[in-house]
Amino acid sequence: MFARKVAARLQPNSLKEFTNLVEGQILPWLRQQEGFLDLVTLAASDGIEVATISFWDHQGNAQAFDVKEYPEALKILEELLDGTPYVKLFEVVGSTFQRGPLALQPEAGNLVRETGPAQRGYSSIETSM
């Protein structure tokens, strides 16, 4: 299983609209993507920093989404973002999910790759995660 973390800064006072767009447009669309398992959305207490962690069954499906569909997701959210999000892909090597789609697969290994400023033209943001 693989996890795709996207960290971003939002325009002031846009957390509610961001959450509504993620839940109303992005999540239903993600559910149609091959290999998509789940999405967790996180927000800092100031409402400016957000992160989403999407879970995928295989690395290829996560990478296919990154190349084919992610640019469209950015277009949906672009007016709310303050800068370009930072994207990183991880292999899940441990989980406390015992049942359901996020149960850890036995073939888990190491960190797979980073999609950062050099690879995607994104500017990195600092996070406290």
101 pLDDT band, cuts 50/70/90, is low
pLDDT digits (tens, 9 = 90+) for 12-69: 999 999 999 999 999 999 999 999 999 999 999 999 999 999 999 999 999 999 898 9
User: What is the topology classification, in CATH, of domain 2-120?
Assistant: Alpha-Beta Plaits (3.30.70)
pLDDT, mean over the chain? 81
- The pTM of this model reads 0.74
Q: For residue 2, what are the β-bridge partners?
A: 56, 91
Residues whose CB falls within 8 Å of the CB of residue 36, separated by 6 or more in sequence, listed in order? 30, 54, 55, 56, 57, 61, 65
* Domain-wise residue ranges, the chain: 2-120
